[in-house]
Amino acid sequence: MQLTVRSGADAGASVTVDRRLTIGREGDFRLTDPTVSRMHAAVTPTSDGRVLLEDLGSTGGTVVNGTKLFGPVTLQGGEQILMGGSILELEAAAPPVRSAAPPAVAVGVGEVLPAAPGPPPSPPPSPVASTPVRAESGNRRTLVIAVVVALVAGAVGFVIVTGGDDDPQPGDGAGGVEALAPLANLGAQPGDFSADPSTWTVTLTWSDAPRVVGLDHYEVSRNGTTLDDAVTQTTFVDDGALPGERLDYEVVAVGSGGATEPAAVSVRAPKVAVADALVTGPWLVEMRITRSNLDDEGATTSLFWSFEPVCDFGACDGTFTIRRTDVVGASTAEAGGRYTGVGFGAFLLKDCRGETISETVDVAFAVKRASVRKGVWVAESFRGTLDEIAESPGCITARRTFAITATRA
């Protein structure tokens, strides 16, 4: 098998896969593409004439025929392999003999079907200083954009095939740089979503445009709002998507001469209950006395609280601290986003002699609003009550109830 770089910084480079080879900026098959990891992937010839491909934990991952790898796969030749901003192709040493009635090909677990046979790729055109060269009739360049929505428990792939003839359009490019090929959304639809509340991150991944069309950078937007207008990689992570929201993404390829060509895909993130939000971090809690044996009903105060949950996502137990006091307690998650907890320490009262009192604080509250923060579904507000009991020998036992309303600080 022969592995050849078809596009990218190392276009034309080739190596024979006759032993296990590492691929990367410091691999056996060395690439200068800065978006490729130092040790990006490895290929190993098998006894049946095929090649085993594995990703070595690269930063951007490895994509074969539009499908991102999540484990080793066996290749048969003809596959398009995306690593960083480079596209590589695995070629058989000699073209296979085709019989009149070819047998069905069985694809095992972890294998990737080869790309459909077609004419050999045309060499890149020579640079032109002035007038762009017209392509031969029927010749098309393609930009394949694979959009992958990663939701922890599952990943869903979308492929948008793009194409157009190579003829330059008026005003496209500059100084002989060809215009980007027009993109055509062929209506690829998302499959079923599977999700875990640990993250709602959406990862967009696409194949790099050939350098001969004058690619400069990409622009990514969601629901008409630009997320990044200077993307140089072929992947983008959106950690602000909301559960249950329709997400309309657009990736625009921008040419060095200013020509732009968009590709778009729409997905709907799965819904998740507010009750499943994680209660964590600092909070500003407004407190108002609703009942008291000290004749101070209606008094208000504001305190900062902090929560440290025992998990990284979802409703779970934890500890809470009421700042500017000595109260520390444990909170327990219950059904429906409700929490109860008990804390101990010096709180808001002193006894009849002016001395600090050790108090018991009982809290009960429910999460009312949630949002996504850095890919995690977290609580944004809660409401409930706090009961305070302060006992001191020789003084009356103070009992007060507060209504509490909290927002993330």
**According to the model, what pLDDT value does residue 9 have?**
86
Partners of residue 393 on adjacent β-strands? none
- What values do phi and psi take at 212, rounded to 5? -70, -15
Q: Tell me, what's the pLDDT at 202?
A: 76
User: DSSP for 220-278?
Assistant: EEETTEEEEEEE-SSEEEE--PPTT-EEEEEEEEEETTS-EEEEEEEEEPPP--GGG-B
Cα 291 from Cα 385, distance rounded (Å)? 11
Place of tokens 């030749």: 77
What does the pLDDT look like over 393-408, one tens digit per residue? Answer: 999 999 999 999 999 9
CA angle 85, 152, 148 (to 5 degrees): 35
* CA–CA distance, 176 with 158 (Å, rounded to integer): 34
The alpha carbons of the chain give a radius of gyration, in whole angstroms, of 30
Give pLDDT tens digits for 267-326.
777 778 899 999 999 999 999 999 999 999 999 999 999 999 999 888 999 999 999 999
Question: Which residues touch 378 (CB under 8 Å, ≥6 apart)?
Answer: 277, 278, 279, 280, 281, 370, 371, 372, 408
Q: Which residues of the chain have pLDDT under 50?
A: 95-197, 210-213
Confidence (pLDDT) at 199:
58
Residue 336 phi/psi, 5-degree rounding, is 75, 20
Residue 338, C-beta contacts closer than 8 angstroms, at least 6 positions apart: 275, 364, 365, 366, 367
Q: What is the CB neighbour count within 10 angstroms for residue 383?
A: 14
Burial of 137 (0-12, 13-18, 19+ CB in 10 A): exposed
Is the pTM for the entire model greater than 0.75? no
| Other beta carbons less than 10 A from residue 291's beta carbon | 12
User: By the 8 A CB rule, do 158 and 147 touch?
Assistant: yes
Tokens 């190579």, residue located: 166
Tokens 């036992």 belong to 397
